[in-house]
Amino acid sequence: MLTDRIAVITGGSRGIGREIAMTLAAKGAVVIVNYNGSAEKAEAVVKEIQAAGGKGEAVQCNVSDFEKAAELMEYVVKKYGRIDILVNNAGITRDGLVMKMSEEDFDAVIATNLKGAFNCIRHVARQMVKQRAGRIISISSVSGVLGNVGQANYSASKAGLIGLTKTVAREMASRGVTVNAVAPGFIDTEMTQVLSDKVKESVMEQIPMKRFGATKDIANTVAFLASDDAGYITGQVICVDGGMAM
């Protein structure tokens, strides 16, 4: 159980982040459902959490903004006194072959997926060290482990998250803070629903288990890493991908 643990989930309004928020709340955590633009969806997640007897609130913040990320963490610490769990889930795609990729599309993906995670970690690290306890879990991707045609920006951001995870894990290991990454394969969310049937078919060929994953598959892994049972696991990348990256 995660009773009364304070958990910040970035990008908790939709998809995988939404499922992580619901799952941690069901285990007793107080969940801060961060979102960027989807206020109504984030409020709906909180309503669903509360209807099930859980606790949480929605807080807007563009995590790619260093100062705004600081304000988000300061707000949570001021209100709840601590932050036990940070899940860096916020992410975007701007796919295209590298020879056609614009500078803007490269920068936008790095800014949200990689710098956004750095910003949140940067502003939570001191608090967790002070607490001598904490869990940081970042959602990477199989694309960051294997690379993926059309995703130079996204793969770079997700591989960067793995380096960030391992370094912060080393820096914080002796302070009771564990830092891990989860690398999902292809999960059925709005992010993958936009893919063409042709792309989906070619992806399916690369999945040994021959099916896309569900958001619950990722949320359950995050819940485990956030729990006391995972206290001796740090600096790891857990692939939840139907065998893609084995």
Instruction: Provide the binding-site residues for ligand NAP, judged by CB under 6 A.
Output: 10-11, 13-17, 34-38, 62-64, 89-92, 112, 116, 139, 141, 184, 186-187, 189-192
Closest distance of CB 87 from ligand NAP, Å: 10
Closest distance of CB 172 from ligand NAP, Å: 22
Judged by beta carbon, residue 4 or residue 71, the one nearer ligand NAP is 71
Judged by beta carbon, residue 163 or residue 231, the one nearer ligand NAP is 163
Closest distance of CB 225 from ligand NAP, Å: 15
Q: Is 166 left (phi over 0), alpha (psi -120 to 50) or beta?
A: alpha
SS3 label, residue 245 = coil
Q: What is the DSSP string of 58-102?
A: EEE--TTSHHHHHHHHHHHHHHHS---EEEE-------B-GGG--
* Number of continuous H segments (helices) and E segments (strands) in the chain: 10, 7
Closest distance of CB 132 from ligand NAP, Å: 28
Where do the DSSP E strands lie in 85-244? 85-88, 134-139, 177-184, 237-240
* Set 35, 75, 80, 154: catalytic member: 154
Judged by beta carbon, residue 63 or residue 172, the one nearer ligand NAP is 63
Report the alpha-carbon distance of residue 158 to residue 183 in Å, rounded. 9
The Cβ of residue 229 has, within 10 Å, a number of other Cβ atoms equal to 10
Closest distance of CB 192 from ligand NAP, Å: 4
Report the alpha-carbon distance of residue 88 to residue 73 in Å, rounded. 13
Report the alpha-carbon distance of residue 219 to residue 2 in Å, rounded. 14
**Any catalytic annotation for residue 154?**
yes
Which is nearest to 10 in space by CA: 168, 124, 152, 129?
124
Length of the chain: 246
Amino acid (1-letter code) at residue 218: I
Judged by beta carbon, residue 39 or residue 173, the one nearer ligand NAP is 39
Judged by beta carbon, residue 157 or residue 234, the one nearer ligand NAP is 157
Catalytically annotated residues: 154
